[in-house]
Structure 1
Amino acid sequence: MGNPSPTSPDSREPQAISSSDVTTTAKPDEISPPYTPNVMRFLEGTGISIPIAENYSSEDFYSDLLCNHLKVGTVRRGHVTCFTTVKPTITNAFGGLHGGAVAAIAERVAIATARTVVGEDKDMFLGELAMSYLSSATTDAELIVEGSVVRSGRNLTVIEVGFKMKETGKLVYSSHATLYNTPIAKL
């Protein structure tokens, strides 16, 4: 252990750890100093300190971005099929479809699938979204995104969403969504 401090550990001032425009405040006991440079290099490598361009900070930009990549194939009761092509705008640093984009697409397809069995008189909200990233879909890969109702009842609907490579049929991402159905309040 180091030299005793004249003040108690709880009264120490938080230290600021900064990198470019990013500053994080943490108590000395919360960050292990030997690992801090490695973590900061990783975060900088992912672009955390790059400012967001003005046109990307508009309201619900992310949804607009995803909708430009998602095309509807078929819609049947309890089943929705969509198609997407992995473009650089929705890839991660390794050139694969970004995990956040996968989850956002899964959520959209799950809600659309649930709407095939849940009446318009009910409002829905996402209660759970579980993701399995089994493989990676790289830039320009074409994917088939299929949503299927697993169970639908009075108060909840469970949807399974699978992402398959169009060329091979290989399952690359899998999702399980639980949506809660509630009657729309009449005021």
Structure 2
Amino acid sequence: MASPPYTALVETFFRRIRRHQDISEDSERKNFYSDMILSHLKVDRIESGRIYCTLKVDASCVNSYNTLHGGVVASVAAEVGLACAKMTAGEKDFFLGEHSTAYLAAVGINGLAISTFQV
């Protein structure tokens, strides 16, 4: 399969910010990024309509400042938010139409981001 024309531009960008060693051939697999991010997530407690969890921050989920990437925060919020919705409403099809996130402080590598999600 031929690479899309923008692949070289993306690779150049990652090399410039010194992230080229982190690019895996497996990254083109469906759900690769969701699976990678959620593999860092630990569910601490579940209550009716509420999930408490901790996200371990490592080099795979930080930005160029070596702090937790905002996209990771949004991805975790979406996935865990949908899990809360399914917990209260059952196995129905859902989509995330809108959510709001307050970014209060940056979490660095080897830090823990602790969150509570509620429906």
TM-score class, shorter: 0.7 to 0.9
Report what 2:5 is aligned to.
none
> Gaps spanning 5+ residues in structure 2: where?
1-7
Report what 1:110 is aligned to.
81
Structure 1 position 47, deviation (Å): 6.4
TM-score by length of 1: 0.51
Q: Distance in 1 between matches of 2:68 and 2:58?
A: 8
Q: Distance in 1 between matches of 2:49 and 2:24?
A: 40
* AA in 2 matched with 1:22: L
Report what 1:131 is aligned to.
101
Identity %: 34
Q: Secondary structure at the match of 2:36?
A: helix
Structure with a larger share of its residues in helix: 2
Report what 2:59 is aligned to.
88
Structure with a larger share of its residues in strand: 1
Is 1:144 the counterpart of 2:114 in the alignment?
yes
Instruction: Give CA deviations for 1:100-138 in whole Å, capped at 9, x if unaligned.
Output: 111101111111111221122x32111112222221011
The number of aligned residues is 109
Q: Distance in 2 between matches of 1:76 and 1:69?
A: 21
* AA in 1 matched with 2:81: A
Q: Distance in 2 between matches of 1:96 and 1:115?
A: 31
What is the Cα-based RMSD across aligned positions, in Å?
A: 2.5
* AA in 2 matched with 1:135: A
Report what 1:71 is aligned to.
42
1:98 to 59, 69, 78: 69
TM-score by length of 2: 0.78
Q: Specify whether residues 142 and 53 from structure 1 end up closer, same or farther in structure 2 by C-alpha distance, changes over 3 A only.
A: closer
Q: Secondary structure at the match of 1:130?
A: coil
Q: Is the 1:76–1:116 contact (alpha carbons within 8 Å) kept by the matching residues of 2?
A: no
Q: Specify whether residues 43 and 141 from structure 1 end up closer, same or farther in structure 2 by C-alpha distance, changes over 3 A only.
A: closer
Rg bigger for which structure? 1
